[in-house]
C-alpha cells in the first residue's frame, strides 16, 4: 500500500525490511492484547506515517479541490484563521529558535481541507505585495497527519494533497483514543479538529481521546478544536435525537478544568469563539435546514462575481430563531439579528441615495464593527460609483457587505455555544 522515498540500493532494502519486521511484531502484540480491536489500521498505516507516500488511487481526481462555497472560504475558514493566528505565530517562532519544524495531527480530516486552513494564514492580512507570506509555511512543517474513519475520504484527501510533501492521511477509528499513534509517533505541536468532528464521539470517548492528546503532547502544544454549539439555530431541533454531543461555552470550560485536575497538566484556554451563528449549513439538518438555507445562499451571493444579490432576502425575522428560555442567550440572538438587519437596511437605502452613516439614529451607541463597516461602505460607494467598467456593486460593494456581516459575528460573539461550531484553542503547560 505504501512505498518509501528518497533512499536507494542496500539502504532502502534493509530499512524497508527492518520497518516491516518491526511493524508486524508491534501489530501482533497489540492485536493479541485486544486493546485496539476496534481500530481499522492496515499494516502500512502502523509505521511512521511521515516516511511514506500513498500509491496512486483507483479513481480519477477531480479538477476542483472542494465544492464551491464562498461562506466556507471567506467566512468560516478565515474566522478560524483569525482566531488561531496569534497562537500559531508564537509556536512557529518557538520552533524556529529550536531549529525544528511543526508536527500537526488532525482528527476528522475529511478531504484534507484543514491543511490549507492552517498553512494559508497570512502574516499580514492587509498586505498588498505581489507574494503573500504565511505564518505557517509548508517548509516549516515536518508532518501533517490527518485521521478519518472513511476510507474513500482518506483516499481522496491523499490524492488532492499529493503535491504536499509533508501531508499524509490515514484511515482509523479514534473513538477509542489515539491508539497506536500514541506509541509510534513523536509528540505533535498542534492537535487539530474542525467542524465538530470530535462532537460525534460520546462524552466518554471524547474524554479518553482528550486524555491521550494531553498525555502525548509536549509542553506548549496547542489543541485547536471545534465542538458543536448547543444553542446553534439548527442544533436546537436536534438536541434529543442526534449523533452529535452539543456544548455550551460554560460546559467546555468545566470540561477542560476537570481534565486539568485529572491529568495534572495545566490547560490554558486561549480563546473560546462561536463560528457560523446565523449562516449555518443546512446540510447538517435536512429536516429543518430548508428554513435557513436561503440565508447562506444569499450570503454566498454577496461574494459571487458579476451577480447582484437581492438584499431583501438577507433580512432576518426574530421568529425564525428558537426561544431558548435563557435570557442571556435569547438577548444575544435578538441583538445580533437587530444589528445584522441594520446593516442590510442601510445598504439597501445607500444604494438608492446618499445617506451619511453618522446621521443614523443612535450612531454613537453602535458597536465599533458596525460603525467601521458602514463608514467604509459609504466611502466605497462615493469613491467608485463613477466607474463604468464591470459591475461595481456585485464585484466590489457586495463583498464588503459580506465582510461587514462577518465582522459583526466575530466582534459580538461571546463563546456561549450559539454557533454551529464552538472553536476552542487550548495551550498545554507541562
For 76, which DSSP code?
Answer: I
The pLDDT of residue 290 is 61
DSSP 3-state assignment of 22? helix
What local confidence, expressed as pLDDT, does residue 131 receive? 85
Angle formed at CA 354 by CA 307 and CA 315, multiple of 5 degrees:
50
Phi, psi of 399 (to 5 degrees): -60, -35
User: Beta-carbon neighbour count of residue 348 at 10 Å?
Assistant: 14
Task: Report the predicted TM-score, pTM, of the whole model to 2 decimal places.
Answer: 0.82
H or E element, residue 382: helix 368-384
pLDDT tens digit string along 228-266? 999 988 766 555 555 778 999 999 999 999 999 999 999
Query: Among 19, 391, 424, 40, which Cα is nearest to 227's?
Result: 424
Cβ count within 10 A of residue 17: 10
Predicted pLDDT of residue 204: 93
Nearest one of 352, 310, 114 to 226, comparing CA atoms: 114
Residue of 376, 382, 393 lying closest to 354 (CA atoms): 382
Confidence (pLDDT) at 237? 58
CA-nearest of 289, 348, 351 to 313 is: 348
Q: What's 218's DSSP letter?
A: P
CA 129 to chain centre: 27
Q: What is the dihedral of CA 371, 377, 380, 382, to 10 degrees?
A: -90
Q: How far apart are CA 385 and CA 392, in angstroms?
A: 7
SS (H, E, C) 220-277: CCEEEEEEEECCCCCHHHCCCCCCCCEECHHHHHHHHHHHHHHHCCEEEEEEEEEECC
CB within 8 Å of 47: residues ≥ 6 apart: 2, 19, 22, 23, 184
- Distance of alpha carbon 319 from alpha carbon 334, whole angstroms: 10
Grid cell, residue 358, equals: 453618522
- The number of residues making up the chain comes to 430
Q: In the chain, which residues have pLDDT < 70?
A: 1-67, 235-242, 281-292, 322
347 vs 343: CA distance, rounded Å: 6
Amino acid at each position: 500500500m505504501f512505498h518509501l522515498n528518497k533512499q536507494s540500493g542496500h539502504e532502502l532494502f534493509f530499512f524497508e525490511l527492518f520497518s516491516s519486521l518491526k511493524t508486524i511484531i508491534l501489530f501482533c502484540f497489540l492485536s493479541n492484547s485486544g486493546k485496539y480491536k476496534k481500530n481499522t489500521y492496515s499494516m502500512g498505516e502502523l509505521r511512521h506515517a511521515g516516511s511514506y507516500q500513498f500509491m496512486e488511487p483507483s479513481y480519477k481526481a477531480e479538477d476542483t479541490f472542494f465544492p464551491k462555497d464562498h461562506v466556507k472560504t471567506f467566512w468560516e475558514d478565515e474566522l478560524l484563521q483569525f482566531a488561531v493566528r496569534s497562537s500559531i505565530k508564537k509556536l512557529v517562532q518557538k520552533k524556529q529558535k529550536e531549529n525544528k519544524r511543526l508536527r500537526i495531527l488532525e482528527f476528522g480530516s475529511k478531504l484534507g481541507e484543514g491543511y490549507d486552513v492552517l498553512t494559508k494564514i497570512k502574516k499580514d492580512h492587509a498586505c498588498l505585495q505581489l507574494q503573500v507570506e504565511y505564518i505557517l509555511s509548508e517548509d516549516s512543517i515536518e508532518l501533517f497527519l490527518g485521521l478519518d474513519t472513511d476510507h474513500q475520504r482518506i483516499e481522496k484527501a491523499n490524492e488532492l494533497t499529493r503535491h504536499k510533501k509533508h501531508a499524509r492521511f490515514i484511515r482509523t477509528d479514534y473513538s477509542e483514543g489515539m491508539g497506536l499513534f500514541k506509541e509510534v509517533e513523536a509528540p505533535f505541536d498542534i492537535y487539530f479538529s474542525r467542524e465538530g468532528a470530535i462532537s460525534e464521539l460520546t462524552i466518554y470517548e471524547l474524554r479518553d481521546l482528550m486524555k491521550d492528546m494531553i498525555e502525548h503532547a509536549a509542553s506548549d502544544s496547542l489543541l485547536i478544536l471545534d465542538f458543536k454549539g448547543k444553542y446553534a439555530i439548527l442544533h436546537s431541533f436536534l438536541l434529543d435525537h442526534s449523533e452529535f454531543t452539543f456544548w455550551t461555552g460554560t460546559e467546555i470550560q468545566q470540561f477542560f478544568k476537570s481534565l486539568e485536575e485529572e491529568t495534572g497538566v495545566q490547560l490554558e484556554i486561549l480563546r473560546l469563539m462561536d463560528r457560523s451563528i446565523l449562516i449555518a449549513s443546512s446540510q447538517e439538518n435536512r429536516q429543518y435546514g430548508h428554513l435557513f438555507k436561503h440565508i447562506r445562499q444569499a450570503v454566498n451571493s454577496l461574494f459571487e462575481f458579476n451577480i447582484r444579490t437581492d438584499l431583501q432576502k438577507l433580512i432576518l425575522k426574530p421568529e425564525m430563531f428558537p426561544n431558548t428560555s435563557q435570557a442571556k442567550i435569547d438577548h444575544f440572538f435578538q441583538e445580533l439579528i437587530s444589528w445584522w438587519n441594520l446593516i442590510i437596511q442601510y445598504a439597501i437605502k445607500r444604494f438608492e441615495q446618499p445617506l451619511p452613516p453618522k446621521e443614523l439614529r443612535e450612531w454613537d451607541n453602535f458597536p465599533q464593527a458596525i460603525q467601521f463597516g458602514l463608514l467604509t461602505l459609504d466611502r466605497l460607494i462615493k469613491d467608485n460609483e463613477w466607474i463604468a467598467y464591470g459591475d461595481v456593486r456585485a464585484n466590489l460593494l457586495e463583498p464588503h457587505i459580506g465582510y461587514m456581516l462577518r465582522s459583526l459575528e466575530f466582534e459580538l460573539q461571546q463563546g456561549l455555544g450559539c454557533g454551529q461550531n464552538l472553536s476552542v484553542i487550548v495551550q498545554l503547560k507541562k
